[in-house]
């Protein structure tokens, strides 16, 4: 099987955001593997309005051109790593909006979850699991939680994520699970296509 394509999605867009740091750190770890290729997907590159279509694109094609470009980007991947902040105990609105703007493109894919915040983005990650279920995205068990003093040290004091030992093992475990599910789901999607063509 060819390398799995994994999109690493940054959940925030504000000018002074932290989100690109953990995204790049996860990408650096993923680059050591030969079974996946990753791409950072920055929502800043997809400036979409708050949901403003006649329906979800599960039911009606979207009209907005940035949205159409977003849907094509989502469709390119076999799986995703969501690197999420926690805004008032949930995912940032810009990520929710981006999730809402695609539907079949997410279906039957796998996702790993990385959070940051006072409790490692744990509450946002759990909300994201519920949203993912509706989009038919399988989220893997092991989350990566950049939390408490570690989050503050990286955010405010220039500590590097790669120097926090326990987090590295968590990323490896998350990636192992993501690859297993992404591979299984890719094979199943391919079987569906063959059956439809027969």
Ligand X SMILES: Cc1cc2nc3c(=O)[nH]c(=O)nc-3n(C[C@H](O)[C@H](O)[C@H](O)COP(=O)(O)O)c2cc1C
| Interhelix angle 20-30/165-197, nearest 10 degrees | 70
Nearer Cβ to ligand X (123/172): 123
In angstroms, give the least distance from the CB of 87 to ligand X. Answer: 4
Instruction: Give, rounded to a whole angstrom, the gap between the first and last alpha carbons of the chain.
Output: 22
In angstroms, give the least distance from the CB of 170 to ligand X. Answer: 18
Cβ(190)–Cβ(108) under 8 Å? no
Query: Does residue 174 sit in helix, strand or coil?
Result: helix
In angstroms, give the least distance from the CB of 155 to ligand X. Answer: 6
Nearer Cβ to ligand X (16/65): 16
In angstroms, give the least distance from the CB of 8 to ligand X. Answer: 14
- CA–CA gap between residue 67 and residue 39 (Å, rounded): 19
Nearer Cβ to ligand X (18/80): 18
- Residue numbers at the binding site for ligand X (CB under 6 A): 12, 14, 17-19, 85-89, 117-118, 155
Residue with the closest Cβ to ligand X?
Answer: 117
Token pair listed for 39:
């791409």
Cβ(49)–Cβ(82) under 8 Å? no
């Amino acid at each position: 099987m060819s390398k799995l394509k994994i999109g690493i999605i940054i959940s925030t867009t504000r000018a002074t955001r932290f989100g690109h740091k953990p995204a790049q750190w996860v990408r650096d770890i993923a680059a050591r593997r030969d079974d996946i290729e990753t791409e950072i997907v920055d929502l800043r590159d997809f400036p979409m309005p708050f949901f403003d279509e006649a329906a979800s694109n599960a039911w009606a094609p979207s009209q907005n051109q940035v949205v159409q470009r977003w849907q094509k980007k989502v469709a390119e991947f076999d799986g995703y790593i969501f690197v999420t902040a926690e805004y008032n105990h949930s995912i940032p609105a810009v990520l929710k909006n981006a999730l809402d703007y695609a539907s079949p493109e997410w279906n039957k894919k796998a996702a790993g979850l990385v959070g940051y915040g006072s409790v490692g983005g744990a509450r946002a990650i759990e909300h994201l699991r519920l949203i993912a279920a509706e989009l038919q995205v399988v989220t893997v068990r092991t989350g990566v939680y950049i939390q408490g003093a570690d989050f503050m040290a990286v955010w405010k004091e220039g500590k590097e994520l790669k120097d926090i030992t326990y987090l590295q093992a968590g990323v490896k475990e998350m990636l192992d699970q993501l690859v297993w599910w992404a591979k299984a789901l890719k094979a199943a999607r391919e079987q569906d296509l063959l059956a439809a063509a027969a």
